[in-house]
């Protein structure tokens, strides 16, 4: 299928941060093959998208979430992380079925597409159900799989689960025409023992996949780790070989100067989750300092149980403001840096080198945003408008791999009403058992 986007004002997110006015974009199957002012004579489109009065940008990338936790939205708020997990989340997750995870994933994916997200990095259970949801919706994703969280441990034993995990990572790497990637999941240093950290490091190396882990989320996590190991969680990761791999680390709120230098040295990609960190009272990650050091953070929503949405426009807006506030510095972080976190840096956090920017040869993962809404008028600076003014409701059209997943605000691969019905039914069953 050949697609042409006309009258496009493009925020490319390339190294020069180029903004191209009134352009034509030609998409052949899943790739961008032409960007220019004139329609090329060699390209015959099957469909044309008119982007007049809209901004065309790379799809937003949610670099840390637990997609199916949409089922637990608004369930256990106003608790610190440890109590939130032990009292509100773990008892419900103990009863999760394949159907529950599928319904929760479908709900989360629908919400993400409608708010302009084209890819996400997921850490959860019953990964096969998430795969089915990804296959049915057309979104791009990286699924994290860990032995300790595998549903196959009881069925196959530890060695069998390890073999299954490795096979899952390899067989789904670059699957679904490159839409799916995989990563080794380590929930956290506090929930995983040292031998498993070593095993996870080895598995990542053997499968050539990145590692996805929660790190330095709370002050108590760091303090307890120092009591247990005599070092911080990041230092434990260095000792066990974790940091010898590509690592995407969610949260990184409580990191000292030594930890930050270690992150820089090992090229760890931290994922900022401002909504979740504030809701759970975990604190503020020092993103401005990380940027000053040359560390390139990504941005994520975390799960809907601790956010309570998967709206990356909301997350960008919050990330752009909180650091100005607590540092008393309006220049602590700028809109351009936040957009990079949500697009090009996000692609690196997920292990994709062919999306996150708009240029010839890249995958056609594109979000088209209306600029004529009340909250976007007058439309002056596209970068400022997208971070400080835009809302999820302004998203008009979404493409992933060249396929249209939403057009004129209507989902094309998802029955929205059915998804809401099925998710509500699953949630009701889970809550009735707790």
Residue 152 pLDDT: 62
Q: pLDDT at residue 246 above 70?
A: yes
Please identify which residue in the block is written with the tokens 């840390």.
Answer: 64
Please identify which residue in the block is written with the tokens 């996805």.
Answer: 212
d(CA 73, CA 425): 14
Please list the residues that pair with 182 across neighbouring strands: 143
Domain ranges of the chain: 2-58+364-411, 61-349
Sheet holding 210-215, edge to edge: 60-65, 117-123, 140-145, 180-188, 210-215, 247-251, 269-272, 298-299
Q: pLDDT at residue 153 above 70?
A: no
Q: pLDDT at residue 156 above 70?
A: no
Please write the tens of the pLDDT for every residue from 128-152: 999 999 999 999 999 999 876 666 6
What is the mean pLDDT of the segment spanning 87-102? 92
DSSP letters for 40-101: -TT---SEEEE-TTEEEEEPEEEEEE-GGGGGGTTSS-SS-HHHIIIIIIHHHHTT--HHHH
Categorize the per-residue pLDDT at 159 as very low, low, confident or very high, splitting at 50, 70 and 90: confident
Please write the tens of the pLDDT for every residue from 184-216: 999 999 999 999 999 999 999 999 999 999 999
Chain centre to alpha carbon of residue 410: 22
Residue 147 pLDDT: 78
- To the nearest 5 percent, what fractions of the chain are helix, strand and coil? 45, 25, 35
Q: pLDDT at residue 218 above 80?
A: yes
User: CATH topology of 2-58+364-411 equal to that of 61-349?
Assistant: no
Residue 167 pLDDT: 93
Q: Which CATH class is domain 2-58+364-411?
A: mainly beta
Residue 77 pLDDT: 83
Is the Cβ–Cβ distance between 181 and 160 less than 8 Å?
no
What is the mean pLDDT of the segment spanning 149-177? 81
Is the Cβ–Cβ distance between 339 and 387 less than 8 Å?
yes
Is the Cβ–Cβ distance between 243 and 237 less than 8 Å?
yes
- What angle in degrees, to the nearest 10, is found between the helix axes of 335-342 and 312-327? 140
pTM as predicted? 0.96
Categorize the per-residue pLDDT at 68 as very low, low, confident or very high, splitting at 50, 70 and 90: very high
Percent of the chain with pLDDT over 90: 88
Categorize the per-residue pLDDT at 55 as very low, low, confident or very high, splitting at 50, 70 and 90: very high
Q: pLDDT at residue 434 above 70?
A: no
Please identify which residue in the block is written with the tokens 């084209």.
Answer: 118
Residue 80 pLDDT: 85
Q: Which CATH class is domain 61-349?
A: alpha beta
Bin 11: left if φ > 0, else alpha if -120 < ψ < 50, else beta.
beta
């Amino acid at each position: 299928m050949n697609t042409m986007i006309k009258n496009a004002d493009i925020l490319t997110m390339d190294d020069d941060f180029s903004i191209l006015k009134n352009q034509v974009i030609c998409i052949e199957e899943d790739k961008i093959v032409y960007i220019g002012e004139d329609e090329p004579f060699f390209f015959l489109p099957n469909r044309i998208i008119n982007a007049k009065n809209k901004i065309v940008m790379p799809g937003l990338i949610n670099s840390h979430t637990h997609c199916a936790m949409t089922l637990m939205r608004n369930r256990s708020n106003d608790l610190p992380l440890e109590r939130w997990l032990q009292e509100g989340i773990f008892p419900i997750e103990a009863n999760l079925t394949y159907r529950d995870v599928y319904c929760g994933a479908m709900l989360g994916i629908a919400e993400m597409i409608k708010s302009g997200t084209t890819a996400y990095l997921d850490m959860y259970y019953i990964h096969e159900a998430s795969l089915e949801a990804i296959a049915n919706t057309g979104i791009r994703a990286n699924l994290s799989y860990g032995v300790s969280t595998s549903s196959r441990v009881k069925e196959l034993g530890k060695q069998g689960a390890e073999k299954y995990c490795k096979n899952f990572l390899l067989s789904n790497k670059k699957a679904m025409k490159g839409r799916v990637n995989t990563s080794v999941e380590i929930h956290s240093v506090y929930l995983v023992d040292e031998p498993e950290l070593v095993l996870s490091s080895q598995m990542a190396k053997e499968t050539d996949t990145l590692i996805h882990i929660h790190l330095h989320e709370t002050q108590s996590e760091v303090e307890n780790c120092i009591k247990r190991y005599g070092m911080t969680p990041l230092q434990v990761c260095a000792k066990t070989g974790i940091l010898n791999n590509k690592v995407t680390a969610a949260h990184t709120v409580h990191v000292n100067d030594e930890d930050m230098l270690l992150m820089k040295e090992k090229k760890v990609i931290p994922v900022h989750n401002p909504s979740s960190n504030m809701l759970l009272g975990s604190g503020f990650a020092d993103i401005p300092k990380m940027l000053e050091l040359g560390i390139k953070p990504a941005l994520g929503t975390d799960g809907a149980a601790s956010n309570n949405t998967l709206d990356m426009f909301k997350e960008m807006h919050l990330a752009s403001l909180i650091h100005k506030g607590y540092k008393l510095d309006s220049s602590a972080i700028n809109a351009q840096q936040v957009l990079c976190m949500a697009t090009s840096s996000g692609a690196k956090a997920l292990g994709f080198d062919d999306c996150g920017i708009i240029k010839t040869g890249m995958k056609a993962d594109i979000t088209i945003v209306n600029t004529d809404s009340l909250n976007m008028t007058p439309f002056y600076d596209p970068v400022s408008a997208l971070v400080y003014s835009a809302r999820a409701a302004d998203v008009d059209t979404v493409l992933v791999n060249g396929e249209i997943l939403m057009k004129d605000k209507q989902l094309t691969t998802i029955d929205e009403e059915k998804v809401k019905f099925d998710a509500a039914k699953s949630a009701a069953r889970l809550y009735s058992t707790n």
